[in-house]
Chain A
Amino acid sequence: MNERAAVAAAEAAVPAVSVRGLVARYGENVVLDGVSLDVRPGEIFVVMGGSGSGKTTLLRHMLGLLRPAAGAVRVLGVDVNAAAPATLQALRRRVGVAFQGGALLSSLSVGDNLALPLVEHTDLHPRTIAIMARMKLEAVELPGTERLMPSELSGGMLKRAALARAIVMDPDLLFCDEPSAGLDPAVSAAIDKLILRLREAMGMTVVVVTHELASAFAIADRICVLDGGEVVAVGTVDEIRHSANRRVQNLLNRRVETPTLDPDDYLRRLTGED
Chain B
Amino acid sequence: MTLPERIGRATVKGIEEVGLAAALVAESLFWLFMGRRRGQSVRLRAVVEQAVEIGLRALPIVTVLSGTIGIMLAIQGIYTLRTFGAETQVTLGIALSVVREFAPVITGVLVAGRSGSALAAKLGTMTINQEIDALKVMAIEPVRYLVVPPLLAMLVMLPALTLWADAVALLAAGLYVSNELGVTLAAYGLELLDILGANDLLHGLGKSVIFAVLITAIGAVNGAAVTGGAEGVGRMTTRSVVQAISAIVITDMIFVFLVTR
Given contacts A105-B126, A106-B125, contact A117 B131 (CB under 8 A): no
Contact A103 B134 (CB under 8 A): yes
Contact A117 B138 (CB under 8 A): yes
- Which listed residue, B38, B39, B131, touches A105 by the CB 8 Å rule? B131
Complex interface bits, B39-71 against A, C-beta within 8 A gives 1, otherwise 0? 110000000000000000000000000000000
User: Which of A65, A92, A103, A121: most chain B CB closer than 10 A?
Assistant: A103
B137 at the interface (CB under 8 A from A): yes
Bound Cα distance A117, B40 (Å) = 11
A residues less than 8 Å from B138 (CB atoms): 92, 97, 116-117, 120
How far does the Cβ of B200 sit from chain A's closest Cβ, in whole Å? 40
How far does the Cβ of B131 sit from chain A's closest Cβ, in whole Å? 5
Contact B134 A93 (CB under 8 A): no
Contact A120 B129 (CB under 8 A): no
B residues less than 8 Å from A101 (CB atoms): 129-130
Bound Cα distance A116, B138 (Å) = 9
Contact B126 A92 (CB under 8 A): no
Closest residue of chain B to A90 (Cβ to Cβ) is B139
Contact A65 B126 (CB under 8 A): no
Bound Cα distance A177, B131 (Å) = 14
Given contacts A86-B38, A117-B140, A120-B40, contact A97 B125 (CB under 8 A): no
Bound Cα distance A28, B214 (Å) = 36
Please count how many residues in chain B sit with their CB below 8 Å of the partner chain's CB atoms.
18
Contact A99 B140 (CB under 8 A): no
A2 at the interface (CB under 8 A from B): no
Bound Cα distance A117, B138 (Å) = 6
Contact B139 A103 (CB under 8 A): no
Contact A65 B137 (CB under 8 A): yes
B residues less than 8 Å from A92 (CB atoms): 136-139
How far does the Cβ of A56 sit from chain B's closest Cβ, in whole Å? 11
User: A residues 80-117 with Cβ under 8 Å of B?
Assistant: 86, 89-90, 92-93, 95, 97, 99-101, 103-107, 116-117
Contact B139 A105 (CB under 8 A): no
How far does the Cβ of B123 sit from chain A's closest Cβ, in whole Å? 12
A residues less than 8 Å from B126 (CB atoms): 105-106
> Could you list 6 examples of A-B contacts with CB < 8 Å?
A63-B133, A64-B137, A92-B139, A99-B134, A117-B139, A121-B139
Q: Residues on B close to A: CB < 8 A? A: 38-40, 122, 125-126, 129-131, 133-140, 145
